[in-house]
């Protein structure tokens, strides 16, 4: 298994395009290159519920920052020798593994 982390070219951003009356979200890397395009949806107006497609796009764009935060938290927890940390650390390591495709030892 490859343990080298891929350069994610962050920060990622969202650009909105229109397809007729519907909207499409495009996730771009730091250089502006398209990474992913959403299904069509309607951008919500004030008081409207957030479409699940838009919520998923927001989560995808924030994923690199969330991963960095989890790695930092995991490193900090590892440094807390003698502190009860196993349950929290297991959850964090599972998320890191899922996000990176790597097996985190320990």
Does 8 reside within a domain? no
Looking at residue 82, its pLDDT comes to: 66
Q: Split the chain (106 residues) into runs of 10 and give each run's mean pLDDT.
A: 69 91 94 94 90 89 86 83 73 76 54
d(CA 87, CA 35): 34
Does 1 reside within a domain? no
Does 92 reside within a domain? yes
Looking at residue 74, its pLDDT comes to: 83
Does 67 reside within a domain? yes
Number of domains in the chain: 1
Looking at residue 79, its pLDDT comes to: 82
Looking at residue 25, its pLDDT comes to: 94
Does 41 reside within a domain? yes
Looking at residue 30, its pLDDT comes to: 93
First to last CA, the chain: 17
Does 105 reside within a domain? no
Does 31 reside within a domain? yes
- Expressed as residue numbers, the domain containing 21 is 13-100
Does 26 reside within a domain? yes
Full-model pTM? 0.66
């Amino acid at each position: 298994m490859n343990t080298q982390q891929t350069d994610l070219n962050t920060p990622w951003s969202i650009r909105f395009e229109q397809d007729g009356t519907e909207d499409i979200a495009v996730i771009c890397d730091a250089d502006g290159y398209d990474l992913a395009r959403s299904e069509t949806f309607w951008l919500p107006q004030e008081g409207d519920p957030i479409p699940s497609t838009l919520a998923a796009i927001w989560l995808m764009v924030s994923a690199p920052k969330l991963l960095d935060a989890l790695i930092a938290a995991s490193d900090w927890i590892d440094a807390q020798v003698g502190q009860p940390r196993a349950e929290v650390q297991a959850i964090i390591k599972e998320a890191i593994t899922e996000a990176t495709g790597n097996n985190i030892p320990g």
